Every structure is written in C-alpha cells, then in structure tokens.
Amino acid sequence: MSDPVLVIGAGVAGMTAAVELADNGVQVVLVDRKSTIGGNALNLYKAFPTDDCFYCFEGNRWRPGIRKCFYRSAMIDQPNIELMTNTIIQDISGTPSKFTVKLVIGPQYVDPKKCIMCGLCVEVSEAFALESPQCQPQAVTYDPSKLDEGAKKAEQDCPTKAISLDANPSEKTITVSDIVLATGYHEMQPVAVDEYGYGVLQNVITQLELARILDPNGPLGGRLVRPSDGREAKRIMMIQCVGSRDENYYPFCSKICCVFALKHANIIANERADGRVSVVYMDIRTYDRHERYYREAREAGVEFVRGRISRVVSTEDDTLEITVYDSLLDKYLRFSIDLLVLSSALEPPEGLDEIIKTLGLKTASGYVGPADAASEDEVVVGEHVYACGGVLGPAEIPESVNQARAVVSKILQGRK
C-alpha cells in the first residue's frame, strides 16, 4: 500500500484536497495547528461570490447555527482521513515520495470525542471558548494562559469528563509520499502603521474583525457597535491598501481586499438602518465578476474618496476625527466617524518560512512560488510537493478550491 499524503493546513484548500484525495482511495494525514479546522473562512459571515451566509441548520440558544459544509462533515466521517488538530510540523527529512515528518501534537486539554458542547465550562471559566458555532471537531477549546479557578471547577464538573488540565504534548513520526501545503494567509495586524492608530484606538479595526462584528452568530450578535463603548456605529470609514502596495510593508496588491471591503460596505449600507459608509482608496480593483460589488456599492450610496488618510484623532467621546487628502479635488476633507476599518495586507502565515527553507522551495512575494515559473502548473512547488489556496498568495475561496482540485489531479496522476 502507498504511503499517505500529508496535507498541512485544514482551511478550505486543505480540506478540499484531503476529502477529494480520500474519496479517491488515498490515505491522508491532515494536520492543523489550531484546535478547530476551517481556517479563515470560518469567520467570514457572508461570502462572495454567492453572498451565502453559511448558517443553514438551527442549533440551540447557546450554539445558534451550524455551518453547512460538506468538507467539514466529511472530515469526521471519511475513514481515509486522519485528522490531527493542534499539531505542528517539527521536521521534514527523507526524499521526495518518501518523506519522514516529525509532528508535535499539543496537549489535548479537551477530548473532542467526549465533549458534548454543553457549555458548562464556558460559563464558569474564561479559559474555555467556543471558537465558532460551526467548529469542527465539535468541541470547546482551552487556553492554558487563561487558567483560573473556574477552569478547575469545570474539570471536576464536566459531565463527560472531557477536560484534562494536566494533559501533555506528544510526538509522532510518519512517512508520507507527497506533501500538500495549504497553510493559507494571515491578515496583517497593522500596529506598525502609526497614522491609523490600530492597537491604540479601540474604534480602529480590521476587515476580519468587522466580519466577526457583522455576524449574527458572532460575539456581538451582529450588532454594529463601537468596541470602545458599545454604542451603535453609524458612520463607518474604510481605508484600502493598508500595508499592501507599500514598499515599507508588502509591495504587492493583496488582490481580494477591495472585493471584501465592498462586500462589507454593501452589507452595512443595505442592511443596517442609518449605516453610512465611506471608502478611501488609491484604486478599486474588483477583478473578474466582482465588479458588481462596486456597482452595487455606488447604487447603495457608499461614498468613494480617492486619496489617503493623513490624520486620525480620537475625541473625548471616542468619535474619530479623520483628515483625508482627496487627490481628485486636491484638498483636505474632514470626517467625524464611529469606526475606521483597515483593509489590511494579507501576508504569509507564521512558520511558512521554515517549511519553505526545509523543503528548498521557491518563493514569490513571500508566499510559496511554483517550481517552474514558466509552466502553468502553479500548484506544483517541488518534487512531490504541492500547494493550494492562500499559501500561493491572496486567493478567494473558489480559486483555493480549484487549486486544491488541481493538486488532487496531479497526485492521482502520479500514482497511476
């Protein structure tokens, strides 16, 4: 029997590759460093191009929705997939088609096979959390840095004895024939971009943080409020290209941030009474079929200002006074707003550098680059090494899924 395929990263791309390989009879080891799989797509609320909100089934009061996701349910049921969450790659050696991979599995504080998601531990301790109502495995997570008295009580009272606060990490070594990199992207935390005050002013947030706020199943129940005082946010400003197309941070365009900013602007303008949105931009880049988001935003009354923000000042009541240089009018404009949303650059995730170095891969703008830049096989990044989704550079979900399918096809061809 052939050795299994290792898929690193269980976001949309990694899950697609894993399930489709498994459906074709290939054994797969799917690892993710987090306790919950799904990656960034888990927290997007409505997603373009279909504006699907993903919440399909009724849950209960505590867990209000379950995300319909073929791949995530298949993750649990498909016997050819060994899913290892809370796991990182420590070392890769061996030769292509016979890689030896050392894995470190983090302590299993909550046994997902035993957890029945009753919510008792979350009620008594801040160390336990429900990552998402749709999380897979269906289990709460535990953060040891937040250990409190409640955590010990939760361990004692858990009805299924799923909690073990003394759990230890373990190691495992596996041999795999192929490696699929699907480690996705990270939204840059724009703390170093001083002019916007992110990390200092509470009402300055990123687009991923806005998605959590807008989500009716998110921590604020979908109420569009100012983080500083919980007051309704009526005037919202978005600023594009934060850290992208900027020699000080990332010189490349992050490709999808214009579209997701417009998606959020439309949700606010169309669904929130009194919600007024301004978008400050250098260029609006809505590639492919997504031009409709730009048209719909203009129809919905979203204001577009071509220029740059030059100053953000917070007043005593936490209103943000913003000065924008309008490059079309050649003058400075002033705005009073409740929430400033930064469309921050998408950057390679932490740890990718080491994997790239260990496997001797090429790079493109910090992401994984194709082994042969002249070839159309962008998903082939080394001998028996493939990549799909955000790890190749900013990509939307359908593109990530298509790349994952291309990887599956390459691996299956190689096994014939």
Ligand X SMILES: Cc1cc2nc3c(=O)[nH]c(=O)nc-3n(C[C@H](O)[C@H](O)[C@H](O)COP(=O)(O)OP(=O)(O)OC[C@H]3O[C@@H](n4cnc5c(N)ncnc54)[C@H](O)[C@@H]3O)c2cc1C
Neighbours of 361 (CB within 10 A): 18
Q: Specify the amino acid at residue 340.
A: L
**Least distance CB 161 / ligand X (angstroms):** 28
CA-to-CA distance for 257 and 124, rounded, in angstroms? 39
Instruction: Name which of 90 and 175 has its Cβ closer to ligand X.
Output: 90
Q: 30 CB contacts (<8 Å, ≥6 apart)? A: 7, 10, 14, 15, 18, 37, 75, 81, 82, 83, 84
Site for ligand SF4, residues 85 to 124, rule: CB under 6 A: 110, 115-121
Largest CA distance in the chain: 70
Q: Which does 209 bind (CB under 5 to 8 A by kind): ligand X, ligand SF4, none?
A: none
Which region, judged by CB under 6 A, interacts with ligand SF4, from 3-11, 155-163, 214-222, 352-360? 155-163
**Least distance CB 203 / ligand X (angstroms):** 18
Residues contacting ligand SF4: total by CB under 6 A: 27
Q: Which does 185 bind (CB under 5 to 8 A by kind): ligand X, ligand SF4, none?
A: ligand X
Which has the closest alpha carbon to 82: 5, 181, 167, 138?
5
**Least distance CB 39 / ligand X (angstroms):** 2
Q: Which does 244 bind (CB under 5 to 8 A by kind): ligand SF4, ligand X, none?
A: ligand SF4
For residues 194 and 311, the answer to whether their CB atoms sit within 8 Å is no
Tokens at 201, concatenated: 């002013």
Q: Does 290 help bind ligand SF4 (rule: CB under 6 A)?
A: no
Q: Does 285 help bind ligand SF4 (rule: CB under 6 A)?
A: yes
- Reduced 3-state DSSP string for 121-147: HHHHCCCEECCCCCCCCCCCEECHHHC
Q: 86 CB contacts (<8 Å, ≥6 apart)? A: 32, 33, 34, 35, 105, 106, 107, 108
Q: Which does 183 bind (CB under 5 to 8 A by kind): ligand SF4, ligand X, none?
A: ligand X
Tokens at 18, concatenated: 């894993």
Instruction: Name which of 41 and 268 has its Cβ closer to ligand X.
Output: 41
Q: Which does 34 bind (CB under 5 to 8 A by kind): ligand SF4, ligand X, none?
A: ligand X
Query: Would you say how long the chain is, in residues?
Result: 416
Q: Which does 116 bind (CB under 5 to 8 A by kind): ligand SF4, ligand X, none?
A: ligand SF4
Site for ligand SF4, residues 162 to 181, rule: CB under 6 A: 162-163
β-strands 346-347, 363-364 pairing: unpaired
Which region, judged by CB under 6 A, interacts with ligand SF4, from 36-44, 144-152, 240-248, 315-323? 240-248
Helices and strands: H and E segment counts in the chain:
9, 24
Q: Which does 8 bind (CB under 5 to 8 A by kind): ligand X, ligand SF4, none?
A: ligand X
β-strands 204-206, 178-181 pairing: unpaired
Residues near ligand X, by CB under 6 A: 8-14, 31-34, 39-41, 44, 47-48, 88-89, 182-185, 187, 207-208, 211, 256, 260, 263, 349, 351, 389-390, 395-397, 400
Q: Which does 13 bind (CB under 5 to 8 A by kind): ligand X, ligand SF4, none?
A: ligand X
Enumerate binding residues for ligand SF4 (CB under 6 A): 110, 115-121, 140, 154, 158-160, 162-163, 240-241, 244-245, 253-255, 257-258, 283, 285, 343
